[in-house]
Amino acid sequence: MTPQIASEKNRALCLMAPVVPVLVLDDAGQAAGLARALVAGGLPALEVTLRTPAALDAIREMASVPGGVVGAGTLLTPKDVEMAKAAGAQFGVSPGATDVLLDACEANDLPLLPGAATSSEAMRLLERGYTVQKFFPAEANGGVPALKAIGAPIPQVSFCPTGGVSLKNAPDYLGLSNTLCVGGSWVAPKDMIAAGDWAGITALAAEAAKLQR
């Protein structure tokens, strides 16, 4: 898969809803219920971070939920890419980008949303053909003012800011011309996941799905 095709697929993915839930799961048995709750609330694109032993099994469970598009976050190595693709991930997300990781995603036909934190990183990815990128860590990296400043000289790149994004500040990011959507974990709090409060999570997802952009 070429970077251009990956960017087209990720642009379509980011436009599905204003928020992409960033999910950390310790129990794959909760994955399907969580996915159904988020999809029911209007958030179909789901990022499962590869930060727990249950992550790959969670992706497998979520991949079978109707209406959902599940991806793997925190991709760092070619092995991560291969395992995520085998588990059923339809897209990948990384906190940064290396040539080795980009090569692996392209070779495995996994559309990657690569992370960039500076103008130089955004330019390097743009040079390779990635016009849709993840701005990470968003708040620690200067937040809305920083992303707006990057967008002025590099309007060709669109972003999904992630890291410190909340219901409170999401509208400010979504108001930027270079922001397609935001990534956030607030729509799936750990305590609600642990309690199996799917109705509560659906309500949070529905609230997030109504955000304007």
134 SS3 class: strand
Question: Which of 9, 61, 106, 134 does the annotation list as catalytic?
Answer: 134
What's the number of CA atoms in the CB half-sphere (13 Å) around residue 29? 4
8 SS3 class: helix
**Residue 162: what are its φ and ψ, rounded to 5°?**
-145, 145
Angle at 103 between CA 108 and CA 20, to 5 degrees: 70
Question: Which of 9, 47, 85, 106 does the annotation list as catalytic?
Answer: 47
106: annotated active-site residue: no
End-to-end CA distance of the chain: 29
190: annotated active-site residue: no
Residue 200 CB neighbours (<10 A)? 16
**Rounded Cα gap, residues 81 and 109, in angstroms:** 10
**Residue 54: what are its φ and ψ, rounded to 5°?**
-85, -5
Sequence-ordered list of residues with C-beta below 8 angstroms from that of 201, at least 6 positions apart, any chain: 34, 37, 38, 41, 187, 188, 189, 192, 193
Which residues are identified as catalytic? 47, 134
